């Protein structure tokens, strides 16, 4: 969720296939967890000395192996490596490499999306049973002919256009900001967990893009993160907001995740502000960062039954504040129950399940102690896993 200080550019944050796979089958299975007593299943971010020792990670420094294979191929485990870039001409590119999905797709898979400025998104997806290789010492993923390889500082992402009807990439991502994770990056609820690493919060992109069989040299700015776990996010969370931007010479990542009522019904915020020299400000608890929502307004997509907050801001006690606005037409508004079988639709309504993904090109303001506010454009997403209730649009527990 970021881009240049001029505010003319926006980076796509959609989890393309990753979002699509959080479909009815996930939610139907994980909804059964709502009947599990709270007891020892209340989610928490693993941030204690014993957590770091058990995981074998440094609380202050990310190692290259952390972007390598982290999940096993045991049933129920999943993992994906995500990359997006906004090219200098305004073209948006998203690439996604994933493995062992427990949601009806258990084979290695690759997804590529290209959106020309003001144009229609072209997408390709390929599943490759038995044709995945995943290194453990760093990002070293090869699926079919395609690969995603890097060491936190320098990456190469390749999707072969000869196998995708003339659409492909051969891009290099060079980090301009060090990697970051909130604490261990792992949210755990009992034996279930979901993990996230911002391996490249911001970086320079060079290389080539092939579209409609035509290859051209490109430049831009990019982002890469890595997720893995052994349970659907729908088991742990009712909704999340997630945004990022580049503003005032700083890279910003901000999020708030609201756990299911069966677990704790609490919100967990996180905030990162950094640059080439590393972290300037980081926070990942309600005692460190406060989340404020603007007034409720009708969701801009008339097909959505609920309302949505007009803004979301993250503020620390020592004067840092980041504010995203949900103004204008969404870049994406997707009902993830659309086109499901009638029996699935009926059962989803019975279980109060209505997963919906909304993404905005968001005006953002950054306030830093001792400096004038800076503005830019960023990307802001809102992902709700269940039908909006009386406290609609991410307001509950916020």
Query: Is the same domain home to 221 and 241?
Result: no
Mean pLDDT computed over 335-364? 78
Question: Is the pLDDT higher at 61 or at 33?
Answer: 61
Mean pLDDT computed over 103-113? 78
Token pair belonging to 51: 């957590």
pLDDT tens per residue, range 300-326:
998 888 889 999 999 999 999 999 999
133 pLDDT exceeds 90?
yes
Question: Is the pLDDT higher at 331 or at 154?
Answer: 154
Mean pLDDT computed over 107-118? 88
Q: List, in sequence order, the alpha helices (H) in the chain.
A: 16-20, 24-31, 49-55, 233-236, 342-350
pLDDT score recorded for residue 357: 87
At 259, is the pLDDT very low, low, confident or very high (cuts 50, 70, 90)?
A: confident
pLDDT score recorded for residue 17: 34
37 pLDDT exceeds 50?
no
In a domain, 48, yes or no: no
Residue that is last in its domain, among 195, 210, 231: 231
Task: Give the total number of structural domains in the chain.
Answer: 2
Query: Is the same domain home to 276 and 371?
Result: yes
Largest CA distance in the chain: 58
At 14, is the pLDDT very low, low, confident or very high (cuts 50, 70, 90)?
A: very low
Query: Is the same domain home to 299 and 326?
Result: yes
pLDDT score recorded for residue 371: 92
Query: Is the same domain home to 128 and 204?
Result: yes
Q: Which CATH number covers residue 200?
A: 2.40.370.10
Of 106, 108, 190, 166, the C-alpha closest to 141 is 108
pLDDT score recorded for residue 131: 86
| Contact call for residues 256 and 284 (beta carbons, < 8 A) | no
pLDDT score recorded for residue 321: 97
Residue 389 CB coordination number (10 Å): 11
pLDDT tens per residue, range 43-88:
788 999 999 999 999 999 999 999 999 988 776 788 999 998 989 9
Mean pLDDT computed over 191-201? 91
pLDDT tens per residue, range 208-240:
999 999 999 999 999 999 999 887 666 677 888
In a domain, 253, yes or no: yes
| Contact call for residues 167 and 210 (beta carbons, < 8 A) | yes
Query: Is the same domain home to 263 and 382?
Result: yes
Residue that is last in its domain, among 202, 231, 260: 231
369 pLDDT exceeds 50?
yes
């Amino acid at each position: 969720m970021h881009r240049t200080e001029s505010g003319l550019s926006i980076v796509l944050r959609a989890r393309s296939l990753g979002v699509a796979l959080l479909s009815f089958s996930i939610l139907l299975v994980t909804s059964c967890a709502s009947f599990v007593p709270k007891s020892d299943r209340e989610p928490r971010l693993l941030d204690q000395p014993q957590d770091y020792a058990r995981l074998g990670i440094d609380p202050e420094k990310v190692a290259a192996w952390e972007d390598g294979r982290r999940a096993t191929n045991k049933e129920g485990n999943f993992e994906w490596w995500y990359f997006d870039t906004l090219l200098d001409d305004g073209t948006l590119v998203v690439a996604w490499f994933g493995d062992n999905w427990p949601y009806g797709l258990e084979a290695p898979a690759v997804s590529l999306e290209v959106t020309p400025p003001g144009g229609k998104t072209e997408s390709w997806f390929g599943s490759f049973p038995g044709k995945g290789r995943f290194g453990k010492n760093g990002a070293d993923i090869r699926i079919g002919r395609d690969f995603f390889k890097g060491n936190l500082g320098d990456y190469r992402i390749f999707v072969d256009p000869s196998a995708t009807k003339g659409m492909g990439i051969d891009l290099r991502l060079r980090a301009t900001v060090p990697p970051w994770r909130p604490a261990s990056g792992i949210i755990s609820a009992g034996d279930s967990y979901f993990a996230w690493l911002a391996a490249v919060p911001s970086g320079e992109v060079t290389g080539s893009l092939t579209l409609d069989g035509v290859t051209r040299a490109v430049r831009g700015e990019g982002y890469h993160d890595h997720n893995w776990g052994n349970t659907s996010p729908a088991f742990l969370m009712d909704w999340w907001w997630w945004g990022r931007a580049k503003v005032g010479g700083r890279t910003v990542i901000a999020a708030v995740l609201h756990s299911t009522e069966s677990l704790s019904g609490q919100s967990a915020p996180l905030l990162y502000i950094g640059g080439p020299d590393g972290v300037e400000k980081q926070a990942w608890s309600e005692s460190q960062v406060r989340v404020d929502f603007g007034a409720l307004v009708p969701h801009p997509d008339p097909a959505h039954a609920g309302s949505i907050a007009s803004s979301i801001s993250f503020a620390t006690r020592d004067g840092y504040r980041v504010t995203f606005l949900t103004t204008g037409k969404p870049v994406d508004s997707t009902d993830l129950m659309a086109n499901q079988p009638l029996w699935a639709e009926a059962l989803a309504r019975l279980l109060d399940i209505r997963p919906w993904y909304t993404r905005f090109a968001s005006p953002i303001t950054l306030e830093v102690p001792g400096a004038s506010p800076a503005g830019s454009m960023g990307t802001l997403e809102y992902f709700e896993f269940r039908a909006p209730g009386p406290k609609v649009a991410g307001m509950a527990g916020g």
